[in-house]
Amino acid sequence: MTTKNILLLITPSSPGRLKGISVYARSHNWHLTVSDRLTHMLDGWDGDGALVTLRDDEGMLRQVRDLRRKRIPVVDLSFTRPDIHLPRVASDNVAIGRLAAAHFADKRFRHTAWFSTGWGHQHELRFNSFADALAETPRRWAWALDPERTKADDWHSLSRWLENRIADAPKPLGIFCFDDADASRAESVALSVGCNIPDDVAILGAGDDEPICESQIVPVSSVRNNMTRNGYAGAALLDRLMSGGRAPRRPLLVPPHGIAERRSTDTLAAPHGLVRDARDIYMAELAHPPTTKALAERLGISRPTLDRAFASEIGMSPARFLARLRLDEAKRLLRASALPATDIARRLGYCNSAYFSNLFRETFGLSPREWRRQRAR
């Protein structure tokens, strides 16, 4: 089998994307030349094909133009520059935005916001689909677009700018960030102004970059963009082009692969004081929770008042809210521990493990064991 020399101009480096490319490369006898630092690109490189993440950087644009003049096939693995016509395999930004909106809607968040440091074609697609899928228009906090942005594009300026917006926004607030790096910035600022995460501010990133998401004070939930598939599908398209195949007329879009839920969105939005107090009681006594009547008595109110508060604020009864809390806690234990499902069922007060497993499957479409195995991938 003839070795093909492939140039990778990919920045920032994405472990998932590189994994997908490398899996394809190993099975097709490719030699990869990696240049992830745009200031040290290989001018004059001559090989069989290139995989790039096109940016506004003039050095990268110049090198891509040089490759195309040599008739070397190039595939773009991003959607930052739609004005430059290249064969593309990109994340489905519209689907990512919709998935984020559904996540916050499922958590009963009425108030939401978008945060990104940059702004471009991918940001616009992702934000617009996020906004279109929500009942109430989210606040758009795009640092690159704001006229208040200072010329000094530094961390302190950005932090002050974002602090004011988070502090003034109604709570509880769900913030969808363009990527996990932006999510880490949002969390740092939210904590600095005294917000509790996730009860006051819930944060969702995109990309599921585990080193970033897991290293935060409150681990960050993230949309799985399926970058491994992005890299593999891009490599397969490049292989087709190098063999004389035609480029697709439209970008090939890779749908997201669900959400990696961590602590930063592990909550149900409960703005009413009564609902929050009820939740705290339930969470402390999930194995043997009080009846709705007993809960109302402990809160010093009538049961009808409690029912109205729940219906008004989160659109469900106390009993349904308790059932949701139990299942959410079951997911957390499945994700964060090695406890078998039988022990989790017992810890959460289910009458037996079979009932727990059936209820879990009915709610989430997977058994507890299947759900845990899928999240471990």
Report the share of the chain in percent with pLDDT over 90: 58
The arithmetic mean of pLDDT across residues 123-150, rounded, is: 91
pLDDT tops 70 at residue 295: yes
How confident is the model at residue 150, as a pLDDT? 57
Q: Which residue has the higher pLDDT, 276 or 138?
A: 138
pLDDT tops 60 at residue 278: yes
Signed CA dihedral, 186, 80, 37, 219: sign only: positive
**Residue 224's pLDDT band (cuts 50, 70, 90):** very high
With 0.85 as the threshold, say if the pTM is over it: no
| Distance in angstroms (rounded) separating the CA atoms of residues 13 and 75 | 16
Q: Which residue has the higher pLDDT, 102 or 332?
A: 102
The arithmetic mean of pLDDT across residues 275-290, rounded, is: 89
How confident is the model at residue 40, as a pLDDT? 53
The arithmetic mean of pLDDT across residues 214-223, rounded, is: 94
| Owner of token pair 């096109």 | 54
Residue 75 φ/ψ, nearest 5 degrees: -120, 130
How confident is the model at residue 39, as a pLDDT? 46
Signed CA dihedral, 356, 358, 363, 365: sign only: positive
Give whichever of 2-6, 139-143, 318-322 has the largest mean pLDDT: 139-143
pLDDT tops 80 at residue 154: no
pLDDT tops 80 at residue 83: yes
Question: Considering the chain, what is the average pLDDT of its residues?
Answer: 89
The arithmetic mean of pLDDT across residues 43-60, rounded, is: 84
Q: Which domains does the chain have, with CATH numbers?
A: 4-91+227-254 (3.40.50.2300), 93-225+260-265 (3.40.50.2300), 273-375 (1.10.10.60)
Q: Tens digits of per-residue pLDDT, 328-356?
A: 889 888 877 889 999 999 999 888 889 99
pLDDT tops 80 at residue 145: yes
The arithmetic mean of pLDDT across residues 308-315, rounded, is: 84
pLDDT tops 60 at residue 152: no
3-state DSSP of the chain: CCCEEEEEECCCCCHHHHHHHHHHHHHCCEEEEECCCHHHCCCCCCCCEEEECCCCCHHHHHHHHHHHHCCCCEEECCCCCCCCCCCEEEECHHHHHHHHHHHHHHCCCCEEEEEECCCCHHHHHHHHHHHHCCCCCCEEEECCCCCCCCCCCCHHHHHHHHHHHHHHCCCCEEEEECCHHHHHHHHHHHHHCCCCCCCCEEEEEECCCHHHHHCCCCCCEEECCCHHHHHHHHHHHHHHHHCCCCCCCCCEEECCCCEECCHHHCCCCCCCHHHHHHHHHHHHCCCCCCCHHHHHHHHCCCHHHHHHHHHHHHCCCHHHHHHHHHHHHHHHHHHHCCCCHHHHHHHCCCCCHHHHHHHHHHHHCCCHHHHHHHHCC
How confident is the model at residue 38, as a pLDDT? 52
How confident is the model at residue 41, as a pLDDT? 54
